[in-house]
Each structure stands twice: as structure tokens, then as C-alpha cells.
């Protein structure tokens, strides 16, 4: 259920889902991959003890040398 909601509302995962389905992958297999991506995001937030950042925000902060990243 979380993977389906993520595909509907998260732009990055929506693009990933559409790209993989267009490549001919089974929709349920792609949803399983999305589920694994969500789990990896959750584990990264717990491990780093920092809030989740979208890819653009992460690279913006990394490019501008914010010291709070990956500490």
C-alpha cells in the first residue's frame, strides 16, 4: 500500500515506476522495487539521524558545503 501511494504522490518514484514499466517490467516487480527504495530511505533517515531530503535539496546542500550532511 505504501509503495502504491508513493508511486502516486512522490515525483521521483513516479518517474522511476513509469520508466521501468515502459521498459517492459512487470508492474508488481516494479512496485516491489519501489517498496525496497522506501525501506532504504527509512533506514538512511534512522541511521543518519537527519530528516529525508529530496535529491535536489540534498545536492544543493552538498554543493554549498553544508556541514550537517552525512555526519
| Cα(63)–Cα(35) distance, integer angstroms | 29
- The total number of structural domains that make up the chain: 1
CA angle at 60 for the pair 59 and 64, rounded to the nearest 5°: 110
Q: To the nearest whole number, what is the mean pLDDT of the chain?
A: 88
pTM of the full structure? 0.76
Residue 53 sits in which domain range? 2-63
68 located within any domain: no
69 located within any domain: no
CA torsion, points 28, 33, 34, 39, in degrees to nearest 10? 130
* 46-59 confidence digits (pLDDT tens): 998 888 888 777 77
13 burial class (0-12, 13-18, 19+ CB within 10 angstroms)? buried
Amino acid at each position: 500500500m505504501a509503495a502504491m501511494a508513493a508511486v502516486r504522490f512522490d515525483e521521483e518514484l513516479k518517474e522511476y515506476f513509469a520508466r521501468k514499466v515502459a521498459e517492459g517490467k512487470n508492474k508488481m516487480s516494479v512496485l516491489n522495487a519501489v517498496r525496497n527504495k522506501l525501506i532504504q530511505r527509512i533506514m538512511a533517515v534512522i541511521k543518519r539521524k537527519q530528516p529525508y531530503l529530496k535529491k535536489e535539496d540534498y545536492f544543493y546542500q552538498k554543493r554549498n558545503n553544508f556541514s550537517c550532511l552525512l555526519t
